[in-house]
Amino acid sequence: MLIDAVKKELQRIVGVEHASFSKEALLCYAYDATNIRKMPDAVVFPKNAEEVSLILKMANAERFPVVPRGAGSGFTGGSVPVDGGVVLSTERMREIHSIDEANLTATVAPGVITWELQQEVEKRGLFYPPDPTSLNFSTIGGNIAENAGGPRAVKYGVTRDYVLGLEVVLPTGEIINTGVKTAKGVVGYDLTRLIVGSEGTLGVVTKAVLRLIPLPESTRTLLAVFPELADAASAVSGIIKARITPSTLEIVDSISIRCVEEYANVGLPKAGSFLIIEVDGTVEGTSKEADEVRRVCLENRASSVDEAVDKKEARNLWKARRAISASLFRIKPNKINEDVVVPRSEIPALVSGISGIAQRRGLLIACFGHAGDGNIHVNIMYDGKDAKESEVAHETVGEVFKLTLSLGGTISGEHGVGITKAPYLAMELGSDAISLMKRIKANFDPNGILNPGKVFAGGHSR
Amino acid sequence: MMNSELLRKEIGRCVVCGTCRSVCPTTRVLNRETSCARGKLTLIGALSNGEIQMSEEYVRHIKECALCGACKDSCPNGVDTVGAFVAARAEIVAKQGLPFAAQMILKALIDPGGLKGTAIKIAGALQGLFLKDASAEAGLVSRFSLPVIGGGRLLPPLAKQTFLEMSRVKTLAVPIAQGTSVKKVAFYAGCGVNYLMPQVGSATLDVLERAGVAICVPPEQVCCGMPAYSMGDKDTARAMALKNLEAFEAYDVDYITTSCATCGHGLKKLFKELLSDDPALSRRVSAFSAKVRDITELLTNELGFIGKAGAKAAEEKVTVTYHDPCHLNRAQGIRREPRALLANAPSLSYKEMRFPCSCCGLGGGLSTTNYDLSIEISRRKAESIALSGAQVVATACPGCIVQLRDALHRYGVDAKVAHVVELL
Ligand SMILES: Cc1cc2nc3c(=O)[nH]c(=O)nc-3n(C[C@H](O)[C@H](O)[C@H](O)COP(=O)(O)OP(=O)(O)OC[C@H]3O[C@@H](n4cnc5c(N)ncnc54)[C@H](O)[C@@H]3O)c2cc1C
Ligand code: SF4
Ligand code: SF4
C-alpha cells in the first residue's frame, strides 16, 4: 500500500492525469502475456528520464517496488508486479528521436513499438532486423530488457546485436549513458550489454541508440511441407550444412499447423510439419540460394516446396506464423510455453526426444519456432481444471529442460527468466555465477526496489 | 447478443497475449492498456466478478472504442471482442438508461421518415443540447452522426427533402411488374442516405439503371436497427428488423441492395440474430438476408457492371483512393469489389493509400460520446489520404463520408470525399 503523501508526490512528478490509483486502471496493469495477475498499488506514465529518476529516488526513500512495463507482452512475468508497488509504464515515451542516415543509427524512446520503428527505417531503405514474433505490439524497451530475438536471428542476430548505447536510469535514480553512438567503442566495462537482457532489474531504459543496416535488395519466401517433423528437422540441418544462411528458418509441427489454420485460413497444407524459409540479399544471390534450399528440402522428403509470389502472400504466411502461439489455446485452455535452444545439429534429437516425452506422459506438446538458430518453442498443453493433467504438465517442464541441457543447449533463448523460469535457474547456471549475478544486482539496487522477485527464485535481496 | 454467462465464457477465452494492442485505433491515440481489447475484457470480467462496480471510469473505458472490429480480426484465439463490448454496453444501458435525446431519436426511427418530423420539432434543442447531453452519457448513434452542429465540426445538415420523399423515388414505391426478364432489385436506403445524403441514393439508382435492372424502393422501410443495437436497445432493434422484413417481403425481388456498409451488415447478419427466437421468422429472415448485397458487391459480382457502357468519361483522369469501412471490410469481407469498380472506371486513376483499413474513428458512438478521441483517430486516416496524393477519397458508407469530410477539413487535407457510386 502506498501512503497518500506518496501518491500525491507521484502525481506531482508525472502530472495528475498520468498517475492512476483506481482499481479499474490497476487491473489492466496487473498482467503480462503469461496471464499471471498481481495487483500494483499505482501505475504511472512518465514522459522522460528525469521523471523516471524522481520516481526511483522516491522509491528508495519510501521503499516501494517499481516495475517497468512496455507492452506487457512478456512470456515470463517480467512486468508483473509480484510485490505490488508502482508499475512504470513506458506507453507515453513513444518518440523516434532521430534516424541518422549518414551513420546508420536510430535514437528512440523505450515505448516505441518495434514494428513502427521498422516501418520508419524501411521507408529510408534501412533495416532494423530484430523481429520477435510479437513485433507488432512489443516495445523497444521490452525487447532490450529481454534481449528479444526472432526468426531473423539466424542470420542477423538478436536485439543485443543492434544496441549501440543506452540512456538508463539506475535503480538509485542516477541517469547514465552507456555505450557509444559509433560503430566501435571499448572504453570501460560494457554496461550496455549488461543492461540488455537484464529484465528491468538493473535499470530503466529511457533512450536507446540502435544500429541499422541497409535493407536487403531482395527477399524470397518459401514454404516447404514435410510428412514428418523429423524430416523437416533434418532439412534444417541440411540447409545449414549446405552453407546457406537463410534470413529466417522457421519450423512448425502438425498440432500448430492445425490450430493456426483455423485462425488464419490461409490454406496451409495438412502435414506433419513445414518450414518457412527466407533468403535475402542481392537478386542473383537470393535466386541461387532459393534453388539450393528447394533442392535440400526435396532431398529430405519434402512433399512440396512453394514460393510466395508476392509480398502479400508472404505477409499472410507470416501473419499465420505469428498467430501460432496464441492460437494453440484452441486445443487446450492452458499451456506452459518454453523456448529452449540447442545447437542446430541437435534439433532432430530434440524434437524426437520431446515427442517421446509427450507420448510417455500422455500430453499434447506443440513445437514450433526458430529452427535456424536452434530455438524451439515447446508448448506443453493442458487443462488447468484437470488437477492431474496440470501436475503432469508442470513436471514435464523439468524433463524438457534436462533433455535440452544434455544436448548442450540453454533453457531460454529469448523470453528471459522473469518469474516463471526463476526456479530452474540453478539447473543451468553454477552457484558461483548466480551469486555473482546477485552481487551485481545488489550493487545496482541496494534496496531491491527495481522489479523485485524476478530472475532469482525466492532469495531476493529485498 | 451475449447473455452474461456467454460473456463470461468469451472473456475466459482471452489469453491476454496482447496481439489486439497492435491494431486498436483508440489505443494508438490514448496509449493506455485500459483502452485496448485486452484491457476492456479484463474490466468486463472484473465487473462480472463483482471486483469493481459499474463506475464512471468503467463506462468511460468501455466506450473508448470505435467497435471497429480490428481486435476481433487480429485475435489468434478468435475471441468475439466486439460481441463482448456490445453486451457490456447493453448492460450499461440496462442499468443507466439512454440519454433523452437518444431515446427520442430511436423512437422516431421506428417509423419511415420518422426522424424528420421529430428532428425538426426538436431541432433547436438538438443542436445545442444534443452533443453535451449525449457525450456525458451512454453511447449514441453507432455509425452515423446525426444532424447536429457542434463546435468546429463539419456536419452535414438534415436534407431538406429526404431520399424517400424525392419524386423519382416515389415513382419506384411500387412492386416491379411480374414477368420482367431483367433482374429485380429493391433498394434499401438507410438513415444516412435518407436523411443526410439523398444524392448518394440517387447515384445508386443511376448506376442500377445503367446496369439494366428493374428497381423498386419500398416506402415502408425504416432504420436498420444497428444504432439501437450498439447502444444496447435490443427491443427497438428487433422491432425495426421485423418492420423491414415485412416491408421487403411485400416486394418480389432477386436482390436487396444498399449503399451503406453498416446497414448492409445489419440486414445480412443482425436481423438473423434478432429474429432467431422465432423459428418461422427465422426461416423468413434467412430468405431475406440471402438476397442482401452491398451495392459494390451487387454491381461487381452479380450484374457484371464493370466494362458496361455509359460510364462517366473525362479529359483528365481524377486520382482516387479508397477507404475501407469497417462494416464492409471486416464485417462483410468486401474489399475487392469497390476497388475493382474504381480501378476500371475510365475517368479515374486508382491509388491505394497506406492504411486503407484503419478505422475512420466514427464508430461505436465515439463521434458523439468522445469527439476528441474520434477525430484524433481520424488523423492517421487524413495523413494516409494526404500521402496518397489522391484528389478524391471514395468509400462505401455514409457514416464514413461524414467523418472523413470532417477529418480532411480539420487537418487541412485538400481532397474530396464521395461514395463509390457517385464516381462511376
Ligand atoms: C505472441 C507472442 C509472441 C512472442 N514472440 C517472441 C519472440 O519471437 N521472441 C522473443 O524474444 N519474445 C517473444 N515474445 C515475448 C515478448 O514479446 C518479448 O519479451 C518482448 O520483448 C516484451 O516486450 P514488451 O514491450 O511487451 O515488454 P513487457 O512485457 O512489458 O516487459 C518485459 C520486461 O521488460 C522490462 N521492461 C520493459 N520496458 C523496460 C524499460 N524501458 N527499461 C527496463 N526494463 C523494461 C519489464 O520490467 C519486464 O521485465 C512473444 C510474446 C507474445 C505474446
Ligand atoms: S488478441 Fe485475443 S486473446 Fe490476445 S489479448 Fe487480445 S482478445 Fe485476448
Ligand atoms: S473494436 Fe476497434 S476500437 Fe474497439 S477495442 Fe477493438 S480495435 Fe479497439
Do A26 and A83 fall within a single domain? yes
Residues of chain B with pLDDT under 50: 120-151
Whether residue A431 is contained in a domain is answered as: no
pLDDT of residue B309: 61
A223 and A210 inside one domain = no
One domain for residues A370 and A391: yes
Task: Please choose, from the candidates A409, A408, A428, the residue with its C-alpha nearest in 3D space to the C-alpha of residue A417.
Answer: A428
Q: What is the DSSP letter of A92?
A: T
Nearest-CA distance from B41 to chain A in Å? 9
Task: Tell me the best of B14, B20, B26, B61 to mutate to test the pocket of ligand 3, counting ligand atoms within 8 Å of each CB and taking the most.
Answer: B26
Residues of chain A with confidence (pLDDT) below 50: 459-462
pLDDT at A168: 98
- Looking at the structure, tell me whether residues A86 and A134 fall in a common domain: no
Which of B11, B14, B33, B64 to probe the A interface (max A CBs under 10 A)?
A: B33
Residue A41 shares a structural domain with residue A8: yes
What is the dihedral angle through the alpha carbons of B239, B241, B246, B251, rounded to the nearest 10 degrees?
150
In this structure, is residue A322 part of a structural domain? yes
Q: Helix, strand or coil for residue B122?
A: coil
Cβ of residue B209 closer than 8 Å to a chain A Cβ: no
pLDDT of the residue at B365: 77
Please list every residue in chain B whose beta carbon sits closer than 8 Å to the beta carbon of residue A32. 16, 18
Q: Which domains does chain B have, with CATH numbers?
A: 4-96 (1.10.1060.10), 100-155 (no CATH), 163-302 (1.20.1050.140), 318-423 (3.40.50)
Helices (H), B194-278: 198-210, 226-231, 234-249, 261-265, 271-274
Q: Same domain for A307 and A388?
A: yes
Structure confidence by residue, pLDDT tens digits, B322-377: 999 999 999 999 999 999 999 999 899 999 999 999 999 988 778 777 888 999 99
Together in a domain, A306 and A370: yes
Mean pLDDT, rounded, of chain B: 86
Nearest Cα residue to B292 out of B394, B410, B190: B190
Tally of domains in chain A: 3
| Domain match, A170 and A57 both | no
| A6 Cα to the center of ligand 1, angstroms | 29
Residue B142: predicted pLDDT: 31
- What are the pLDDT digits (tens) for B169-188? 999 999 998 888 899 999 99
Per-residue pLDDT, A188: 86
Residue A291 belongs to domain spanning: 219-406
Distance from C-alpha of B320 to C-alpha of B64, rounded to nearest angstrom:
31
Position B310 scores a pLDDT of 66
CA of B79 to the centre of ligand 2 (A): 7
Tell me how far the alpha carbon of residue B85 lies from the centroid of ligand 2, in angstroms. 13
- Mapped onto helix, strand or coil, the DSSP state of residue B359 is coil
Kindly state whether residue A28 falls inside one of the protein's structural domains: yes
Per-residue confidence (pLDDT) for residue B99, from 0 to 100: 72
DSSP string, A188-211: SS-HHHHHTTSTTSS-EEEEEEEE
Q: Note the ipTM here.
A: 0.91
For B9-35, the pLDDT digits (tens) are 899 999 999 999 999 999 999 999 999
My answer on whether A375 and A395 are in the same domain is yes
Domain closes at, from A91, A115, A140? A91
* pTM exceeding the 0.90 threshold for the entire prediction: no
Verify that A130 and A259 share a domain, yes or no.
Answer: no
Give A-chain residues touching B57 at CB under 8 angstroms: 22, 24-25
Domain shared by A229 and A197, yes or no: no
Contacts of B17 in chain A (CB under 8 A): 33, 73, 325-326
Residue of B130, B153, B102, B98 lying closest to B371 (CA atoms): B153
pLDDT, one tens digit per residue, over A277-296 is 999 999 999 999 999 999 99
3-state secondary structure of A440: helix
- Tell me if A347 is assigned to some domain: yes
Phi, psi of B60 (to 5 degrees): -60, -45
Q: What's the pLDDT at B124? A: 36
Predicted local distance difference test score (pLDDT) of residue B393: 97
